Amino acid sequence: MRLPIYLDCNATTPVDERVFDAMKPYFTEIFGNAASTGHVFGMAARTAVNAARASVAAALNVSPEEIVFTSGATESDNLAIKGVARVRGGGHIITTTIEHKAVLDPCRCLAQEGCRVTYLTVDRDGFIDLDALSSALSDDTILVSIVHGNNEIGTIQDLAAIGAICRARGVPLHTDATQTIGKLPFDAQALQVDLASLTAHKMYGPKGVGALYVRRSCAVSPIIDGGGHEGGLRSGTLNVPGIVGLGKALDVAVQDLDRDIAHTRALRDQLWHCLRQLAPKLKINGPDPVQQPDRRLPNNLHVSIGGFEGDLMAAALCDVAVSSRSACTSGSNEPSHVLTAIGTPTDGVTSFRFGIGRTTTQDEVDYVVRQLTSALTTA
């Protein structure tokens, strides 16, 4: 075992060697522009993009023509939310208080342009109330955008139930599925989702590439103009190596899905069992992994601890990469909007998000437990 240890896989993941090997030829050998289909170099690139598009579509149980490649989930979220709003000329949007900023900020932008936005509250585990969603829908509702798996506290919303409500009312449903696609089964048809955002770097693929699923019947206006690429929805020269990496990452994720879920969940549960014995005042944020294993991301553990113990834990984890802070949004002094939304105190509290990964080992989890045991039992 080598230090430091990486346990922040909800932030990003290392590129899987199988993904990297698939990408390498498209940097130096098959380097053509996928839009230059008048020669073999461009056609080879286009063929690779089409194969990746088919892989992404198969993983989501949709048609390849419904996949739009982007620079990542943030762009996908913006394209979905702004694209629907602008093609409809404004209207009412429903979202939640625990969305990623890539959803909240576009909603705020549209509110300044005249859209009406409803923010659904959540309970202490981060779940929305389905009756509240139904009540919020109105004749002018043009879009519902609800995260599938929360990146901080791991809450998995009942997307199938949400999709059924929206479909019955004829309202498109968008979901930021950044944390779930590639980590959990995702069938867009069964979930009745109309738009879904994803990114490669959360599933052992490269950074800077993602996709948006757009149901064929869902009208979306582009937010980037200049060439009409991706069926006119996203102009710009295609990132062929990145797109190949995204397709391969999803192929591998589907192939290894059951094994990855079992592996990350087992190590996560072991870590939670040890932590709650070591620190009685420690509070889990989001659904309890033991009581609600299927309602939380299998690799995610988010805990808060107050006072001196928080400082001790932070010191003990100095050579372990986790998301660790005094419950503030990175780069600002504001409390985490997610923790605030679920009613978790933030004053004098330190939060830790552990993100177990495909390559996390038993020895690494044992080391974390030993470090925390030593710190908290000798204080």
Query: Residue for token digits 């990623």?
Result: 100
The residues, any chain, with a CB within 8 Å of residue 267's CB and separated by 6 or more, are 356, 360, 362, 365
The residues, any chain, with a CB within 8 Å of residue 362's CB and separated by 6 or more, are 267
Residue 328 annotated as catalytic:
yes
Q: Give, as one character, the DSSP assignment of residue 16.
A: P
Q: Which of 174, 197, 236, 241 is nearest to 24 (CA)?
A: 241
Task: Cis check for the bond before 4: say yes or no (omega within 30 of 0).
Answer: yes
Q: Which of 318, 317, 308, 315 is nearest to 281 (CA)?
A: 308
Q: 109, 218, 274, 328: which is the annotated catalytic residue?
A: 328
> Radius of gyration over alpha carbons of the chain, in Å?
21
**Residue-by-residue DSSP string for 88-138:** HTS-EEEEETT--HHHHHHHHHHHHTT-EEEEE-B-TTSPBPHHHHHHH--
> In Å, how far are 106, 282, 305, 346 from 349, measured between CA atoms?
30, 10, 6, 5
Q: Using alpha carbons only, what angle is made at residue 318 by residues 314 and 323, rounded to the nearest 5 degrees?
A: 65
Query: What is the biggest distance separating any 2 CA atoms in the chain, rounded to whole angstroms?
Result: 71
> DSSP 3-state assignment of 193?
coil
Instruction: Catalogue the active-site residues.
Output: 328
